[in-house]
Amino acid sequence: MFGLNQKDKSTLIVVAALTLLAPFILNPFPEGSALAQFNAGYPDLMQRFVIFGIFAIGFNILFGLTGYLSFGHAAFLGVGSYSAVWMFKLVGMNVLPAITLSVIVAGLFALLIGFVSLRRSGIYFSILTLAFAQMSFNLAYSVLTPITNGETGLQLTLNDPRVLGQSATADGSIPVTNLLPGLEMRSTYVLDAGPWLFQFNLGYYLCALLLLVAFYVSIRIFRSPFGMMLRAVKSNQQRMNYTGLNTRPYTLAAFVISGMYAGLAGGLMASMDPLAGAERMQWTASGEVVLMTILGGAGTLIGPVLGAGFIKYFENIFSKINDNVLHGWFAILPDGIEDFLVFVVHPFIGKGWHLTLGILFMLVVIYLPGGLVEGGQRIGKYFKRGSDDAQSNDASTKPAE
C-alpha cells in the first residue's frame, strides 16, 4: 500500500489512528472530575499537537538524516505565518491558497539561507543558522514594520481589500478562515456522552490530514536512495567528498524540504488563528523543535511527533496545575502533611513546568539516547521476552512423547 513495507505501513496506520481518534484518546476523564485537569482534547491544543508535529517531522529530515543541527528553523515558521496572513489580507479567507503560499515562500527563504549556511558544517553551520534566524527576528520586529507590523504583529483588519472575498461580514466583523464557503476552521461539533464531552473541530482534522501527508512523505524520503545518501552524509561526509561526490546538493535539498515543512506549520498556525508575530521567529522557538526531535528520537519516523506532543502537553496542561489544584488533590491528608506536599511539589508545576521538563529531558538523554521511541522499544522487548520465557517454561514442563 502506497509503496510502503509492512513495518512502515503499520507505523502510518498507528499515526492515523492516533490523530483521527485524538478527541477520544485525549479526553479520558469525565468533565468536572479531579483528573479532568489532564484532559487535552480541546481543539486549540489538538491543533498545536499536529502543527508542531509537522514542524518536528520536517526538522528531523534535516537533523535526523544528515546530522546538520539548525538553530534557525523558527525563521521559516515565522515566514510561513506572515505569508498566510498576507494572503488572507489581500486575497481571501480560504486557507488552501494561504498554506500553499506559506510552503513556497518558506522554501525559497530556506534555499537562500541554506545556500550560504551549508558552506560550513558542524557548529559553524549551527551558528550561521542561528544568526540568520536572529536577523530575521529583528527585521520582523523593527526594520520591516510596514510588512510585519513590528512588535504588535500582523493582524486582519476591516480595511483589508480581500479581492476574492468579503472585507467584512454582514454584522460588520472580520471574516473567519474557511476551507470552503460555509466550512469555517473554527466549526466544532460537540458530542455529549454523559460526563464526557468530545469535540470534533474542522480545523484540527485539516491539520491532522496534512500531518498524515507530511508523515507519509517523510517515510518515502527515509526509504528512498535520496534518504540513504543523506544518511551517508551523516555517517562520514568527508569520506564521501574524497570519493569525488559533491554532497552539497543533497544537504541543500534536505534543508529546503525541512524549511518547507516549517513553512507549512507556520501557515497552519495562521490559518487556525490569523495572526503572525515576530516571536515565532525567536531562537527559543528553534530550540523547542530541537528538544522535540531529540526527546522523541532523532532519526526515527514517529519520534518527532511523540516529542512534539509531549512538550506541548507539558506546556499547556502541566503548566496549569497550581497550588489550589494540589490542595484539592491532597485534601484528604492532615493539614500539616498536605501543606508540606504542596510545598515540595510547587516548584515543579505551574510556572515551574520547565524545571520538570528539563529533568525529564536530562533523564531521557542519559538513559534513553534514542528518545521516547527507544523507551517504547525497550518496553516492547521486555514484554516479548517475558512471553517467550513463559512459552519456553510451558514447553519444558510438558512430558516427552
SS3 for 284-311 is HHHHHHHHHHHHHCCCCCCHHHHHHHHH
State CA 200 to chain mean position distance.
20
Flag whether 332 is in a domain. Answer: no
Flag whether 174 is in a domain. Answer: yes
Mean pLDDT of all residues in 46-54: 95
User: pLDDT at position 165, please?
Assistant: 76
CB atoms within 10 A of CB 168: 14
Q: Please state the domain count of the chain.
A: 1
One-letter amino acid for residue 267 of the chain: G
**Helix-then-strand count for the chain, H and E:** 16, 6
- For the chain, give the number of residues: 401
CATH number of residue 217's parent domain: 1.10.3470
pLDDT value at 95 more than 70: yes
Q: Are 294 and 371 in contact (CB under 8 A)?
A: yes
CB proximity list for 364: less than 8 A, separation 6 or greater: 295, 371, 372, 375
pLDDT value at 398 more than 60: no
For 400, what's the count of Cα atoms within 13 Å in the CB-facing half-sphere? 0
Average pLDDT score over the chain: 89
Flag whether 159 is in a domain. Answer: yes
15: containing domain: 6-282
User: pLDDT at position 1, please?
Assistant: 57
Flag whether 200 is in a domain. Answer: yes
User: pLDDT at position 86, please?
Assistant: 94
Q: Which one has a higher pLDDT value, 305 or 401? A: 305
Q: Are 135 and 113 in contact (CB under 8 A)?
A: no
User: pLDDT at position 318, please?
Assistant: 81
Grid coordinates belonging to 353: 513546568
Flag whether 231 is in a domain. Answer: yes
Compute the distance between CA of residue 298 and CA of residue 234 in angstroms, rounded to an integer. Answer: 12
Compute the distance between CA of residue 64 and CA of residue 284 in angstroms, rounded to an integer. Answer: 20
Cell numbers 487556525: residue: 272
Angle at 135 between CA 130 and CA 136, to 5 degrees: 95
- The per-residue pLDDT for range 99-153, each reduced to its tens digit, is 999 999 999 999 999 999 999 988 999 999 999 999 999 999 988 898 999 888 8
Least trusted range by pLDDT, from 48-57, 176-185, 261-270: 176-185
Flag whether 354 is in a domain. Answer: no
Q: Which one has a higher pLDDT value, 123 or 37? A: 123
Grid coordinates belonging to 241: 567528498
Mean pLDDT of all residues in 171-195: 86
User: pLDDT at position 302, please?
Assistant: 92
Judge residue 287's burial from the number of C-beta atoms within 10 Å of its C-beta, 0-12 exposed, 13-18 middle, 19 or more buried: middle
**Helix 303-316 vs helix 43-66: angle between axes, to the nearest 10 degrees?**
140
Least trusted range by pLDDT, from 59-73, 289-303, 328-342: 328-342
Cell numbers 511539589: residue: 345
pLDDT interval class at 346 (50, 70, 90):
confident
Flag whether 336 is in a domain. Answer: no
Angle at 335 between CA 330 and CA 339, to 5 degrees: 65
Cell numbers 492532615: residue: 334
Backbone angles phi, psi at 219, to 5 degrees: -60, -45
User: pLDDT at position 392, please?
Assistant: 64
With CA atoms as reference, report the closest residue to 70 among 84, 80, 55, 81: 55
Mean pLDDT of all residues in 196-220: 94
pLDDT value at 291 more than 80: yes
pLDDT value at 400 more than 50: no
Flag whether 331 is in a domain. Answer: no
Compute the distance between CA of residue 326 and CA of residue 331 in angstroms, rounded to an integer. Answer: 8
User: pLDDT at position 401, please?
Assistant: 41
Mean pLDDT of all residues in 77-98: 93
Radius of gyration of the chain (CA): 24
